[in-house]
Structure 1
């Protein structure tokens, strides 16, 4: 086990006796920051929610309303429980980072493994988000222009746009030294997601059911199969396998948990658990409402990316165009938040626990953003490439690592309730990871 880590935290370690730890301040070198409960909630919601919200209506169509509700509730509960384990371990040991928890549990190998998983996962997520911005921003801007406007302008070039937003928006936010400063932009991103949900609810009554045969509302022709407007409570088919990973990763925020915890005012387990419970609850509500009304709008015809259906039946609708732009802006404002844990992982791997340096901080920021930009610009199948890596690193960070760390560092017997819960997390992570990998392999085989 890493001696540097042990000498730092050993004197602060204490076993779990009961609930009295919940009011104990965070131990270790980090004594908290200036982030309020409100800004911490917004930061965590921003870390949870992303472009994945567009695929949840398809997930509901693939599993049924009740089936989707059960699965989403189970995933949210497992995510909250795995975060609870991380916070408990932090409170036990005084460790203040995910990487150091890996070191505390499995020595230097565990620390490096967790840091690499965070780095790969977050670089993949940032690259995928940048790829989305490069692909969708030109179309979103063109939607507000006249249909006969002259094509080929610079603002319709995705590469130029993604470089501009990186330099003008992402870089200034990413270079901030503390994650708590992003609370204002995270609140704006939450507003964009809330706006998206409200528009999905409103537009439910703008598209008739059954859907027009020819795809336009102006020449509406009633289809013969009216039964397609009946919502299904349970659905069992092969598409359900695609829905499970979508929901499983919809609450992945674990790389940002401990940085947010460390910068919370008067940090203790009880206050941070409140932040987690509020953030997951609000995310669950927005997820469920948007998925439900998206499904009730298109039923079995819902696209894997929800907004594509509105482009078909409500072309150039001002609210739909605004909500597409809002989602892109929310994705853009999520990138600096994802960047923070990635930069911290790099600095921990390269420089260890050296004091803060603006030079190394800025250099690491520029290097990471350059790598992300190059991947988004020059790798055309970036989401497929990181789909394989993400399915493994995501399940490890969300399920496997918290369970393993808890089993490694707890003194409870193996048949105790906490130990059984940790085992369930590990098993769930392995099953979801294998399912995700299998789906990606099948998808590649079908495309080839």
Structure 2
């Protein structure tokens, strides 16, 4: 695997281990070539945390009480396990960016290319695209449907009309804000909307507990449903698709490990605040989303508005991540095109991307089921399987301790299991859609 080198920072900071082609240790790289040096003008550690939380803590939060209802109280432990696995692979994939100690790779696809050549590039492109474009499609479908439900008594517009309105609104920051540094302001509001959603759900389910107390019997483990619960929870911390761009937009890249750790902790706490009270109050009847189980009223409308706010604020983060990849591929940069042409080309590319996403959201039947299939494949592969495979190929597994290798094996098994089970569930849903249809 070649010799292994490590650039060490303070406790909790990012370290680089990689196979360096030259005989010069990466520790001896001149200061002005330090890949992890401070980047003036970039975003703060807090903005990095907010970017991650906004992408990771999505609408899947509201399905966690149902996961506990399916698998039992053991789901709370699975939630923590998923957080630890996702944190670990998030650290590994960023280390892969600096694996040679001389240059920083620009994207997940470049990591795949350096690790496994063209095959690795294609694999990452497929899974990456399914998430960063597929998720916004679902966001627009969800927001259009929810807005129509909130306004149907006052405004007679169809779901498709509201979807295009939402696309128009999101296209403004998507086109005007070039990188995730600028988009990080949206992520702060996105996190705040998620916090409000979590608080509303927590308060309403807790207040309703007195009406359901003693009604249900709770299970510690429901073995027959446990694989499905694991598959669902295992992808609740999936943010690998934007980690490269979040880290690139950070002023202090050495702080990546700490930034990712606190982002994962925040997400896990919010998940627990919804999952545990939701299952405690509604037991095996907990619905997905849990809002369907909450009492009707003003609080429920506020929660619905927060869902719409969150998905509309999270969509630019994912779409910006994808557009940055496209713009790199097409050499759309100030250095290559000049200021004026760069802005024009970037605007055209991003409007085309928005048009494609909006068109798919309106036109493709049963796309949510297709997306569930791609999501099961894409999330599990990008979050768990590929980071470990790439790390072992680029940096090597021989220098790892036995317990690290065991931990990697556990992650790979759970990742592949989740991929298979999630794909089977999605295929069954597609079969029902095409044979039975929907109301």
Q: TM-score range by the shorter chain?
A: 0.7 to 0.9
Are the aligned partners of 1:32 and 1:264 in contact in 2 as well (CA < 8 Å)?
no
Are the aligned partners of 1:406 and 1:422 in contact in 2 as well (CA < 8 Å)?
no
Deviations 1:129-182 (A, max 9, x none): 11111211111234xxxxxx56xx34x422222212221234323541110112
Distance (Å, rounded) in 1 between the aligned partners of 2:137 and 2:83:
25
Deviation at 1:208, TM superposition (A): 5.4
The answer for the alignment partner of 2:319 in structure 1 is 339
Are the aligned partners of 2:201 and 2:291 in contact in 1 as well (CA < 8 Å)?
no
Deviations 1:346-375 (A, max 9, x none): 334444998472233222211111111011
Whether 1:80 and 2:87 are equivalent positions in the alignment is yes
Whether 1:282 and 2:271 are equivalent positions in the alignment is no
- Give the one of 137, 150, 155 matched to 1:140: 150
The answer for the alignment partner of 1:163 in structure 2 is 164
The answer for the alignment partner of 2:428 in structure 1 is 442
Would the alpha carbon gap of residues 22 and 193 (structure 1) be closer, same or farther in structure 2, given more than 3 Å must change? closer
Distance (Å, rounded) in 2 between the aligned partners of 1:202 and 1:261:
35
The answer for the alignment partner of 2:57 in structure 1 is 49
Distance (Å, rounded) in 1 between the aligned partners of 2:241 and 2:150:
31
Distance (Å, rounded) in 1 between the aligned partners of 2:407 and 2:207:
45
Deviation at 1:401, TM superposition (A): 1.1
| Structure 2 unaligned spans of 5+ | 17-32
Distance (Å, rounded) in 1 between the aligned partners of 2:163 and 2:305:
14
How many residues end up aligned between the 2 structures? 405
2:43 match: secondary structure: coil
- Give the one of 58, 61, 71 matched to 2:69: 61
- Give the one of 87, 105, 109 matched to 2:115: 105
The answer for the alignment partner of 2:25 in structure 1 is none
Are the aligned partners of 1:42 and 1:187 in contact in 2 as well (CA < 8 Å)?
yes
2:208 match: secondary structure: coil
TM-score, length basis structure 2:
0.84
Are the aligned partners of 2:174 and 2:319 in contact in 1 as well (CA < 8 Å)?
no
Alignment of 1:9-408 (within 5 A): 15-17=4-6, 19=8, 22=14, 27=35, 33-65=41-73, 67-93=74-100, 94-142=104-152, 149=153, 153-154=155-156, 156-207=157-208, 211=212, 228-238=215-225, 240-268=226-254, 271-310=255-294, 314-315=295-296, 317-351=297-331, 355=336, 357-408=342-393
Would the alpha carbon gap of residues 363 and 423 (structure 1) be closer, same or farther in structure 2, given more than 3 Å must change? farther
Please say which of residues 180-189 and 48-57 is displaced more in the overlay: 180-189
Distance (Å, rounded) in 2 between the aligned partners of 1:30 and 1:431:
40
Distance (Å, rounded) in 1 between the aligned partners of 2:400 and 2:91:
19
Deviation at 1:436, TM superposition (A): 0.7
Would the alpha carbon gap of residues 299 and 29 (structure 1) be closer, same or farther in structure 2, given more than 3 Å must change? same
1:16 match: secondary structure: strand
2:289 match: secondary structure: coil
Deviation at 1:33, TM superposition (A): 4.7
Would the alpha carbon gap of residues 326 and 429 (structure 1) be closer, same or farther in structure 2, given more than 3 Å must change? same
Deviation at 1:294, TM superposition (A): 1.5
Distance (Å, rounded) in 2 between the aligned partners of 1:115 and 1:289:
35
Are the aligned partners of 2:366 and 2:430 in contact in 1 as well (CA < 8 Å)?
no
Please say which of residues 324-333 and 21-30 is displaced more in the overlay: 21-30
Distance (Å, rounded) in 2 between the aligned partners of 1:374 and 1:141:
23
Distance (Å, rounded) in 2 between the aligned partners of 1:200 and 1:228:
20
Q: Please give the root-mean-square deviation of Cα atoms over the aligned residues, in Å.
A: 2.8
Distance (Å, rounded) in 2 between the aligned partners of 1:435 and 1:348:
35
Please say which of residues 413-422 and 322-331 is displaced more in the overlay: 413-422
